[in-house]
Structure 1
Amino acid sequence: MAISTTERPRASRPVKPTSRLRTTLWLLVSLIVVAAFWSVKIKWSTLADFPAQLIKYIALMLIPPDWSQFGEALNATILSVQMAWIGTVLGIIISFPLSFLASKGLAPRVVNAPLRFIFAVIRAVPEVVIAILILSVTGLTPFTGALALAVGSVGTLGKWGYEAFEGVDPGPKEAVRSTGGGTLALIRWGVWPSAAPDVFSFWLYRFEINVRASAILGLIGAGGIGKMLQDNVQFRNWDAVGMLLLVVIAVTMVIDQISGAVRNKLIHGTWRAPRLAS
């Protein structure tokens, strides 16, 4: 006896909708990339010689480095770290209260909107350009570099600050408001305890950025790593450049390790980053 079976109709896969806007944006980005490579005169033939030239100059710098320049390299590195530290501290002092004023819910719109715009403008200007503008007032000194780093820090720390304040758990804030607390009480008990670890972490991270940026500021004569690097490269003292690079790498790694340990302590409560569960 034959058993008749009925086949289920196969469900057709839905057609993925196409987005003309997405396609247009991809084409536009592709054209911009092609135009950028087309407008810049790149000698692609030199890329083949780049590895050999890189090895050559690394050998000139490090085989062997000029150990007689160790003291000068260390002093230049310390000067750059001092510039970064002063710039970071000044940036914290200025940006910290402004971050509260730029936060929604802590200040009126007419106050936080202009501050957010100022932070965005500052972030759009590189520290080198800021230093050049400050030169006419302070002259070409390490303090000029510190002030440029301070202004640049205000832009980033201000943004990171108000984002941290706005991203806290709303529970403590609602509790403060329910008890009739004012704005200062809201900041002290509803916002700051939750945002403090992130804010401290941002401060340390900005210090690390400023240490690297101080080297670039030295190239315009602000002193420190960049000044020594420029002087020795100009006269082709590659062994002195190698000694400077070794000192800079060592000091930067020490700062990164200390800063990372402090950040982990503030955020996770331990001096080491927590391991991921396997």
Structure 2
Amino acid sequence: MTAPTLQLPQRPRRPWAVVGWLVITAAAVLAFWSVDIAWERLADLPAEIVRYFGLMFAAPNWEKLPEALWQTWRSVEMAWVGTILGILLATPLSLLAARGFGPAWLRALLRGLFSLIRAVPEIIIAIVILSVTGLTPFTGALALAINGIGTLGKWGYEAVEAVPPGPIEAARAAGGSTAQVLRWGVWPQAEPVFWSFWLYRFEINVRSSAVLGLIGVGGIGDMLTSYTQYREWSTVGVLLIVVVIVTMLIDGASGAIRRRIMEGSRARVLR
């Protein structure tokens, strides 16, 4: 008796995937082709970088250090206020956008709003609202808060939907209202994730506040723009040193707190 021949399945054809990759490749080639780039100057780039690093860091102007620290503190304040406002606005909206806690039409509306906000950079939002609030740090804080609604809202409803359903079903079986289910069935499990997201958003806002200073809303970015325009590179070097150190310290502290929240304290070995 002859053994049956095995017929391998045909490789699936995906013409639309091929067309998509061709379109992406063509767009990338056209983008490089249409941009007016002096490619011959790329060879001079390393030497120019070394030259400007020497201008900025060979002899920094430490007399500007107190002012740099003060303006950096204003940027941190801007980031902190923007984070708090974003949390207060985004958290209840994210709960309503979660599946099972809000009507379908409201979920679709809120998720579309979160996507729309995420598509607009903070600096564009600040330019739009500065006609009302003026060139003040509060303008930057509002821009960070509005932009934070998009990210915190999305992270929030995803965290709620990832909660195990057991406590939620128990709260509903006990006759709890939607608010009570969120309070006792969702929040105890989702709280560490929310705290982690809030701290991470604060880290993002600290870096973004320096960028918002480019349009004149105050902080270290405003000072950095002014001294760069006047080509006072020794002062620019001091500003960059302050920005890098402060940002790294905040990121390190926030990261340690986030790890403590998510992982808990480590057990000590008793000897």
The TM-score range, normalised by the shorter chain, is over 0.9
Separation in structure 2 between the aligned mates of residue 172 and residue 28 of structure 1, nearest angstrom: 48
TM-score, length-normalised on structure 1?
A: 0.91
In the TM superposition, what is the alpha-carbon distance from 1:180 to its structure 2 partner? 2.0
In the TM superposition, what is the alpha-carbon distance from 1:58 to its structure 2 partner? 0.7
Is the 1:264–1:270 contact (alpha carbons within 8 Å) kept by the matching residues of 2?
no
In the TM superposition, what is the alpha-carbon distance from 1:101 to its structure 2 partner? 1.2
Task: Give the match for residue 226 of structure 1.
Answer: 221
Choose the corresponding residue for 1:115, options 110, 115, 120.
110
TM-score, length-normalised on structure 2?
A: 0.93
Q: Deviations over 1:25-57 (max 9, x none)?
A: 110110111111112111111111111101110
Task: Give the match for residue 249 of structure 2.
Answer: 254
Task: Give the match for residue 212 of structure 1.
Answer: 207
1:30 partner letter: T
Give the match's secondary structure for 1:180: coil
Does 2:33 correspond to 1:38? yes
1:206 partner letter: R
Unaligned runs of 5+ in 1: 1-6
Task: Give the match for residue 62 of structure 2.
Answer: 67
Task: Give the match for residue 242 of structure 1.
Answer: 237
Q: Deviations over 1:42-96 (max 9, x none)?
A: 1111111111101110111000211111111111111111100000001001111
The 5 Å alignment of 1:48-197 reads 48-197=43-192
2:32 partner letter: F
Q: Considering only aligned residues, what root-mean-square deviation do their CA atoms show, in Å? A: 1.9
In the TM superposition, what is the alpha-carbon distance from 1:8 to its structure 2 partner? 8.6
Q: Deviations over 1:137-185 (max 9, x none)?
A: 1111111111111111111111111111111111111111222222112
In the TM superposition, what is the alpha-carbon distance from 1:21 to its structure 2 partner? 1.4
Separation in structure 2 between the aligned mates of residue 110 and residue 14 of structure 1, nearest angstrom: 44
Find the structure with the greater CA-based Rg.
Answer: 1
In the TM superposition, what is the alpha-carbon distance from 1:16 to its structure 2 partner? 3.3
Aligned residues: 267
Separation in structure 2 between the aligned mates of residue 178 and residue 135 of structure 1, nearest angstrom: 50
In the TM superposition, what is the alpha-carbon distance from 1:9 to its structure 2 partner? 9.7
Separation in structure 1 between the aligned mates of residue 42 and residue 11 of structure 2, nearest angstrom: 42
Is the 1:208–1:255 contact (alpha carbons within 8 Å) kept by the matching residues of 2?
yes
In the TM superposition, what is the alpha-carbon distance from 1:10 to its structure 2 partner? 9.4
2:67 partner letter: E
Unaligned runs of 5+ in 2: none
Separation in structure 1 between the aligned mates of residue 45 and residue 265 of structure 2, nearest angstrom: 44
Deviates more, 1:10-19 or 1:124-133: 10-19
Separation in structure 2 between the aligned mates of residue 44 and residue 198 of structure 1, nearest angstrom: 47
Task: Give the match for residue 268 of structure 1.
Answer: 263
Q: Deviations over 1:93-142 (max 9, x none)?
A: 11111111111101111222211111111111111111111111111111
Is the 1:73–1:225 contact (alpha carbons within 8 Å) kept by the matching residues of 2?
yes
In the TM superposition, what is the alpha-carbon distance from 1:14 to its structure 2 partner? 5.5
Give the match's secondary structure for 1:222: coil
